[in-house]
Amino acid sequence: MFYLSEIEHTLRLPPHLLDLPLHDAIKGELEGLFLDKVIANLGLCISVYDIRFIDGGFVFPGDGASTYTVKFRLIMFRPFVGEVIVAKLKESDSNGLRLSLGFFDDIYVPVHLMPNPSHSEPDPENKEQIRWIWEFGQENYPIDGIDEIRFRVQSINYPSIPVEQEKEKNQDEREKEKQAKPDEREKDKQKQEMATSLSAPRLSTTFSSSPTLQTLRRTLPISLSHPFLSPHSPSSPLFLSPRRLRPSFSHHHHRRFSARAESDNGAEPRHYDFDLFTVGAGSGGVRASRFAANFGASVAVCELPFATISSETSGGVGGTCVLRGCVPKKLLVFASKYSHEFEESHGFGWKYETEPKHDWSTLMANKNAELQRLIGIYKNILKNAGVTLIEGRGKIVDPHTVDVDGKLYSARHILVAVGGRPSIPEIPGSEYAIDSDAALDLPSRPEKIAIVGGGYIALEFAGIFNGLRSDVHVFIRQKKVLRGFDEEVRDFVAEQMSLRGIEFHTEESPQAIIKSADGSLSLKTNRGTVEEIGNLIKLKVIKLGEVIQFLNRAYMISVLKMCMLNQFSMIDTWTPIPLQNLGLEKVGVKMAKNGAIEVDEFSRTSVPSIWAVGDVTDRVNLTPVALMEGGALAKTLFRNEPTKPDHRAIPSAVFSQPPIGQVGLTEEQAVNEYGDVDIFTANLRPLKATLSGLPDRIFMKLIVCAKTNKVLGLHMCGEDSPEIVQGFAVAVKAGLTKAELDATVGIHPTSAEEFVTMRTPTRKIRNGPPPEGTMDSVVKAAAGV
């Protein structure tokens, strides 16, 4: 919602301000220019945060004014699409409600957007006032001044600028413009747009009959839906944006002549707009596009508009990892670890007079600000490499043509890098569940959460919400978590997470999510039956393992004075993005049964000019792997250096609490492939736990080939495991042997030194030589993540 925007601006300082301190005078002028103004592509300026640089001081002849170049930062308000915003009721009448964001002017909620059913009536305490009543279940709930009301942002637009303020150009001026250089005209246009956007006037206090919410006195640059998140609310924009103020994604590019014929049958060379057109600006797509441009290729990449929650119409530059995966998830992991550290600190003499409290809204605001910063970095990476960025939905219409929202672009090669996204199984009531996207952007911390799934995403979120002191229940279809990981690691991490208060329900599958007449929801599993639910407000405990009770997101407790806990059900599954709308099958691209794109060892699809990297191929669904595949593709196509992505010995991590790091084979995979292996394990209490008194432990494991002494697998679960394993992964990739570990001097006292001090095998497995022709299972080990 809020973020800092750094701007450099040339400022004219009138002579009457020269008596003031320079910093104060410049700040006053900046506030006059920017404060309360909607700046195109940035948002609403709330305040001047600081002035970072002042240069100049040149005095103009005549009136004595001076000019300065100033670099400064503004506090901007710009909601993100999909963001939930909380407002307070300010006043009401028979026509609707007026809500306030505090710093921002009021929002008007007309009658037809009130929760249904509801009605207005005279306020019993003040007959001259009108209050609204929400008829929920069998009860009537008055909407009064202490209530918080939530609404979700549907789109972002910019307010209209009065065109009558623009001066008409005469014929001579227009002719001069035509003769100007294109780059000079573009600069003048940008300056004019900036100046015009800063002069946006406040709107008069009016109401509109538009079916969307309206603001008073000032245009709110977002579109809002039903304040109670009704799924049937209208989502049309609040205000139409003038064409010249909308973000422009038209780019000047030259048609490229490709002398490399697209077939080997003597066909005439074709002209193309680009050498490479990438659909999807996630990790793999950006890496491939940037490398290709650096190798001299003409490159374009298209991506959907940004939103914190991905959908058929929203995405964002940076992709899943940056926007709704690795990065925001790791930030929440950091936030959740403090509660455990507070507990640890008592044994080291730290005392707290008051219990530390966590503010969820601060975490979400700072997280969203960091995402915006990263989006800017990714866009600059593409811009600096000379890549053309096009915002919109890409659809492949033939082997060399991409349609982006009705405009056609031709390319010698097309790369599909649209990634994957979470999916929710189709069970009755699944519309009431949330996925990992939504879990990263909840309006408030859940007091209780039921997580369906035992994969790494589920465990990471279980640790996050447990660390933030939510009541966490994890439902697993199998007997154990983390299918595909080493068996001992699976057992150890489940045990350690249970000791921290997370409850696991094994061999339970969700059958239905059932909504009661009073709006409450129940999760039914294959082991339980739905029991009759009494008074929702008084309900405290339901028999765990059979039914988990939680409330519908659309009727959050904080909306209307209900004092029940916030509860959610999160379902953890991950699939490639549905590709039906990309047009792949129509042009002949072969698809796997799970919806992924089939590619060869160089990432080429069944159509020679179309390629694919990243999660959409469902090979190894990790960000570093997508980066590797994208870089390899660029070398293959534009550096005359055919490069196969190397999927062997890929290290991976699970940022659960405690976290897991691993590289190479599991014990089961090593036995199947190599037959005779030696297993070294250590289960130790870390030094920190000796004073903290907490039951924290660390598990470490080495898997060694008995015949070659080569380290086949290295696994660790405990504090800092991912950081430690990353270093060992280099050695494992290079062919590390157990003898080399034994010859290494450890760093004391550390946990990592245990890997170089394990001398005696825990057990030796002798199964004879492996079957002939067995492929290296390191690929399978990584693919199991």
Q: Alpha helices, DSSP H only, in 85-235? A: 171-179, 182-198
Give the 3-state secondary structure of 312-367.
CCEECCCHHHHHHCHHHHHHHHHHHHHHHHHHHHHHHCCCCCCCCCCCHHHHHHHH
Strands 698-705 and 711-717: antiparallel
Q: How far apart are CA 241 and CA 213, in angstroms?
A: 16
Q: For residue 293, which of 375, 389, 373, 377 has the smallest C-alpha distance?
A: 389
CA 565 vs CA 17, 209, 551: distances in Å: 56, 37, 8
Residues with Cβ within 8 Å of 305's Cβ and at least 6 positions away in sequence, in order, are 81, 313, 314, 315, 316, 391
> Which residue shows structure tokens 């196969």?
644
Six token digits for residue 462: 């279980």
Query: Exactly one of 232, 252, 254, 748 is catalytic; which is it?
Result: 748
| Amino acid at residue number 721 | S
Q: Are the C-beta atoms of 320 and 626 separated by less than 8 Å?
A: no
Whose CA is closest to 476, among 459, 454, 502?
454
- As given in the structure block, the two tokens for residue 703 are 């898997």
Catalytic: 271? no
Beta pairing partners, 133: 119, 142
By C-alpha distance, which of 111, 331, 293, 299 is closest to 207? 111
Structure tokens at 369: 């600000």
CB environment 5-24: b (16+ within 10 A), e (fewer): bebebebebeeebeeeeeee
How is residue 380 written in tokens? 């600059």
Q: Which residues are catalytic?
A: 748
